[in-house]
């Protein structure tokens, strides 16, 4: 028998269709977006990314070589710009040193080592690491974000206080480990959250899961 989570996925997909995540022109841009979107609306991140492109800085070396103040100024619309400038550089330092700024080279390493390596970087937590792994490096890792957590809580898949790894395991143990499935599922949960009942203060229209 199919798990509830698998059924819910089918329902969401039938309702919303493919979400075409991650919205970006390159895999490197996905990584930049993953760091910039920490606790920030995607609309603001888009403005920051637009600024980066306008200055022709969308490359590992160019971003890394920007003075901190300048980088902060460029990504300002994304909020927390001083912290995020540092976090970007923390990642870029590792990315340039070990992978010469190549996403493909990085993707050739096994997932487990990569995840550990990413989590070692100051400013990269579990969600950002997993977003990078799934959406930029195309590794079958499920991303847990605020929407996903609210979804699991409100549909009673977990209890209050459950940790990140616990929630992640729920998806990864039940579903087939498929990059496309994980990609679409998480994107659909965010879509559900934005449109319907997973906001911090739900203003519930008719939830598509109930029909």
Partner DNA sequence: GACCAGGCACATC
Partner DNA sequence: GATGTGCATGGT
> Which residues lie near DNA (CB under 7 A)?
21-23, 33-34, 37-44, 47, 76-77, 79-84, 121-129, 131, 135, 145-147, 190, 193-194, 199-201
Nearest to DNA of 200, 206 (CB atom): 200
Nearest to DNA of 16, 80 (CB atom): 80
CA 20 vs CA 59, 68, 205, 208: distances in Å: 23, 33, 24, 20
Nearest to DNA of 40, 174 (CB atom): 40
Peptide bond into 22 cis (omega under 30): yes
Q: How far apart are CA 20 and CA 22, in angstroms?
A: 6
Smallest separation (angstroms) from DNA to the CB of 56: 20
Q: How far apart are CA 157 and CA 67, in angstroms?
A: 46
Smallest separation (angstroms) from DNA to the CB of 1: 31
Smallest separation (angstroms) from DNA to the CB of 193: 6
Q: How far apart are CA 90 and CA 39, in angstroms?
A: 18
Smallest separation (angstroms) from DNA to the CB of 180: 15
């Amino acid at each position: 028998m199919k798990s509830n989570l698998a059924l819910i996925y089918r329902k969401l997909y039938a309702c919303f269709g493919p979400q075409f995540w991650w919205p970006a022109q390159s895999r490197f841009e996905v990584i930049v977006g993953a760091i910039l979107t920490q606790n920030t609306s995607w609309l603001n991140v888009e403005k920051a990314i637009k600024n980066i492109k306008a200055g022709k800085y969308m490359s590992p070396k160019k971003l890394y070589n920007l003075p901190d103040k300048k980088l902060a100024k460029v990504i300002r619309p994304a909020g927390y710009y001083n912290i995020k400038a540092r976090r970007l550089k923390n990642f870029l330092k590792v990315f340039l040193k070990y992978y010469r700024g190549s996403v493909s080279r990085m993707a050739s390493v096994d997932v487990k080592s990569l995840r550990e390596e990413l989590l070692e970087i100051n400013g990269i937590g579990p969600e950002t690491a997993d977003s990078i792994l799934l959406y930029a490096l195309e590794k079958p890792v499920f991303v847990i974000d605020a929407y996903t957590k609210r979804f699991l809580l409100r549909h009673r898949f977990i209890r209050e206080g459950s940790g990140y790894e616990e929630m992640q395991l729920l998806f990864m143990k039940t579903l087939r480990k498929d990059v496309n499935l994980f990609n679409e599922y998480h994107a659909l949960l965010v879509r559900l959250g934005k449109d319907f009942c997973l906001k911090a203060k739900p203003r519930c229209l008719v939830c598509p899961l109930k029909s």
